Amino acid sequence: MTTSQSENRVAVVTGASAGIGEATARTLAALGFHVVAVARRADRIEALADEIGGTAIVADVTDDAAVANLATALDSIAGTVSVLINNAGGAKGLEPVADADLENWRWMWETNVLGTLRVTRALLPKLVDSGDGLIVTVTSIAAFETYDGGSGYTAAKHAQGALHRTLRGELLGKPVRLTEIAPGAVETEFSLVRFAGDQKRADSVYAGITPLVAQDVADVIGFVAARPSHVNVDQIVIRPRDQAPNGRFNRRAQ
């Protein structure tokens, strides 16, 4: 797709206030999409939308009414949506199953799984109506693997991946493509949120390795969005060279 082909096409990015979502919003805007940045933090997405010539819509993906309002607000911007990036989500806690915190599990299920379900279901008619829709769901390597202490997050990410992959069959014959992007360690607010603002603990996740940065993932999403409409990139796993499957890292001495 050239910039002119994506001109005036609408791309909705959830979790656009920081990290992978923010970088993806910038990347899609540079490709010529009109980007609708969605998140809870109004000040962040309004500044981003101003900068990239897009639109900010404040919505919490765990809130039914907010997602319904998002769909209505999109009607006034454009009748259709060409690209949906399901990026909102995250982790809370790193407790073993024996000490599992049910509130953390509920939060992870609500944001990663039901959040993706709510937004996807609400925007599906608009994606179909575009005649050339694309849904990118940012899952994680946690959608394919398990690791000690990660059960709440890996369970939610496995479920989010299953939801996304199910649509690949259910939408067969409809003009909507589906891509799952599964990143490994990306240095964003992810670990800060997981560890409830404990910066030292968050930093230790990336100590001695060279993690991915948000733009590394956004570049891949931009590549996917720029493929011609007959090409469906089903899944991409992307992790740092310093990370192998199942929680193994090459950590250099600090």
Contact residues toward ligand 8X3 (CB under 6 A) are: 140-142, 183-185
Name the residue with the smallest CB distance to ligand 8X3: 140
Helix 214-225 and helix 19-30, axial crossing angle in degrees, nearest 10: 40
Of the pair 116, 140, the CB lying nearest ligand 8X3 is at 140
Give least dist CB 140 to ligand 8X3, A: 3
114 DSSP 8-state letter: I
The bridge status of strand 133-138 relative to strand 83-86 is parallel
Give least dist CB 142 to ligand 8X3, A: 5
Q: CA-CA distances (angstroms) from residue 187 to 28, 235, 247?
A: 21, 21, 15
Give least dist CB 106 to ligand 8X3, A: 19
Give least dist CB 63 to ligand 8X3, A: 23
Residues identified as active-site? 153
